[in-house]
Structure 1
């Protein structure tokens, strides 16, 4: 088996990044790709940006969402206006913890990274896709496990490890992440869920930007 590391060099990596940056920023007018970021089979909306050294694989993000330095976004469907802090990980992969004799991937799957595999296909086959709603904040160093769904408006605290679904407008934290509190009152959350402001056109958001500075003003406006 050929050792591909012989082909790696700073110049090769830099040129690869330049090709990626030109390719994606030519396709998406309102996109900025940070230094040495790598993108594979990724789609964007409008006004997106990635920080430096970001890796995105088989993922999509909606309008205005951004990914900060060092994050790895894998197998993820992300909504609009999401804020992803530095060194966040999504869908990092799962190993079987019962039934299978070993947790080593060479025993139950056939990953490219292993020099020798004992299976011809993945026998574990977990549900990998992470689904993240709109207006979600993933704080620094958060890890979102494979198959997790995070509702609109949720906040994932720094260093949290999320292994279960998160309800809309909930704040969770810890290892494993647990519910801390809701961001707003239930009736305010109902207004936000109904109004779906992230789907309104940019002109409407621009004209009503002051409403976003106070949840009570926003809700009163939508109750009229």
Structure 2
């Protein structure tokens, strides 16, 4: 059995602050000109950002990708996620928190099927169960506070995940879902409007175009009618 070092003995507020400061400065320098903002004591590892992203305080984001203008509110935990543009993620959200086997394997405890470094002792020296799957999130998706999105789920463009929802299966285009497990409540717009938005793909437009046409965004009927007439 390998020796285990209790790293918590070496943690202290000053060390955590300096580690965060190094991360923040390094990433914001790397993404200079893209206006990345990282909140206090957030932890980020192996991530790719677009433009105008901001991350709230005390977030953990690992092995993930964010499109332009997408933001993450405080105390949110995101793993193995590919997120599109203009997504809004509320506080205390959990995305891809990890999986355990539910059949075939005798035990659900990781020490019996993975050699994770965070356990004092493992019973295997190799990983025989993949404990994560990528979550894919489209564009213009809103995820409410305290929502949980299980590994492997795909959320389509324009969807809304209600606060406290537990999403265990894919969410369709412009669907609003809520509950535990999450179920469809309704669609945001009618089918013709949704078809037009998917055809038009406003999130791919230059920000200057959005600035010039922002008042059209305040009413879906006005938006569709105006764009059809041009």
Match of 1:220 among 220, 225, 230: 225
Matches within 5 A, 1:187-202: 187-202=192-207
Paired position in structure 1 for 2:99: 94
Task: Confirm whether residue 13 of structure 1 aligns to residue 16 of structure 2.
Answer: yes
**1:180 corresponding residue in structure 2:** 185
Distance 1:168 1:68 in 2: 23
Cα distance in 2 for partners of 1:185, 1:112 equals: 50
* TM-score, normalization by structure 2: 0.95
Deviation sequence 1:59-113 (CA, Å, 0-9, x none): 1101100000100111110000000000001110011111111000111111112
Runs of at least 5 residues in structure 2 that lack an aligned partner in the other structure: none
Report how many residues are paired.
224
2: CA distance between counterparts of 1:209 and 1:94?
42
CA distance in 1, matches of 2:109, 2:220: 49
Q: Secondary structure at the match of 1:42?
A: coil
Deviation of 1:221 after TM superposition, in Å, equals: 2.0
The answer to whether 1:22 aligns with 2:31 is no
Aligned-pair RMSD on alpha carbons?
A: 1.0
Quote the Cα distance in structure 1 between the aligned partners of 2:166 and 2:63. 21
Write out the 4+ residue segments of structure 1 that deviate beyond 3 Å after TM superposition: none
Cα contact 1:191–1:222 (8 A) shared by 2 = no
Give the CA deviation at 1:57: 0.3
Matches within 5 A, 1:56-135: 56-126=61-131, 128-135=133-140
Query: What residue is the counterpart of 1:3 in the other structure?
Result: 6
- Distance in 1 (CA, whole Å) between partners of 2:62 and 2:196 is 34
